[in-house]
């Protein structure tokens, strides 16, 4: 075997290892329940939401966000988890499929033990999914989901 073929083989093995390493068995799904409101002057977001604040403001139009609760659960193909950030609003997540770059999950959103939304969603790791919830108090509830 020539040096060039050996080097190419090593690079291909490293690339394959990197690709398969992306679908870690230790991934978690993080869910946050957020209240978006318009206040004058706007309040800065809590540190847990700082990374998401600009996107939330662009998508939903609110200028202030409150973190009502958040939870993280391990996720893998075939798993099912109840993510309960608050006592009144919670989410059931069932992982249907996992590939190197994405997850397909079945979501059920409950408010006060009543099923409000059910959906099948495909999303990538470290790319947040925003779900617009019902009007709540002076604003609107928003769920943030992210596989980490």
- Domain segments of the chain: what residues? 26-147
| Interior angle at CA 68, CA 67 and CA 72, nearest 5 | 85
pLDDT of 123: 83
Cβ proximity of 129 and 123 under 8 Å: yes
pLDDT at 20 over 50: no
Mean pLDDT of 56-78: 93
How many of the other CB atoms lie within 10 Å of CB of 65?
A: 27
CA-wise closest residue to 131 among 141, 139, 122: 141
Residue with tokens 């020539």: 2
Asked if pLDDT for residue 117 goes beyond 70, the answer is yes
Q: What is the pLDDT of residues 84-114, one digit of tens each?
A: 778 888 889 999 999 888 899 999 988 888 9
- Among 66, 32, 51, 58, which residue's Cα sits nearest to residue 140? 66
pLDDT at 14 (0 to 100): 38
Q: How far is CA 13 from the centre of its chain?
A: 31
């Amino acid at each position: 075997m020539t040096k060039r073929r050996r080097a190419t083989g090593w690079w291909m093995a490293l690339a394959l290892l990197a690709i398969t390493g992306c679908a870690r068995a230790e991934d978690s799904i993080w869910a946050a329940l957020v209240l978006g409101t318009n206040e004058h002057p706007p309040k800065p977001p809590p540190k847990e939401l700082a990374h998401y604040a600009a996107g939330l403001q662009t998508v939903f139009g609110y200028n202030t966000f409150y973190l009502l609760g958040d939870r993280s659960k391990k996720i893998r193909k075939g798993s099912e988890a109840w993510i309960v950030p608050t006592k009144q609003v919670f989410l059931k997540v069932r992982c249907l499929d996992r590939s190197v770059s994405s997850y397909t999950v079945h979501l059920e959103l409950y408010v006060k033990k009543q099923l409000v939304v059910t959906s099948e969603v495909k999303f990538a790791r470290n790319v947040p999914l925003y779900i617009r919830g019902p009007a709540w108090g002076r604003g609107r509830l928003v769920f943030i989901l992210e596989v980490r």
